[in-house]
Structure 1
Amino acid sequence: MNTESLRNEVLVPAVAKTLDIAAKAKPTKEELFTTAKITAAVAVATAVVSLAVQAVLRNR
């Protein structure tokens, strides 16, 4: 499976379904803060892994 098909067949439908569920939900303020914290942590982890991979590839 290449990147394009992964995006079109897996990621886009998953995001669409998540947004649909979120639109129907009535989250509390605490749930929103928890979601924001998790999202921020995932973003930071993604950035760190990306930088680590770039460093490894540069030093090959």
Structure 2
Amino acid sequence: MVTVRFQRPLRPKARPTAPKGLWGMVYWYSLYLIHQVIFAGMIRKIAERAALLAAAGRA
């Protein structure tokens, strides 16, 4: 998780944060599994789309 805070002058300052303890580990590992499913599907779809565009000569 990343927290972004703006200071004067408006410059973003990112500070990585993480939950602590057992519930923090449960939180991170539950999100890890969800992200694996989402991003694996997303990468697969991008590759399929790129192959279709390349085959059509539009890449």
TM-score normalised by the chain length of structure 1: 0.49
Q: Which one has the bigger helix percentage?
A: 1
* Greater C-alpha radius of gyration: 2
TM-score normalised by the chain length of structure 2: 0.50
Q: Quick one: higher RCO (CA 8 Å, sep 6+), 1 or 2?
A: 2
Q: Which one has the bigger strand percentage?
A: 2
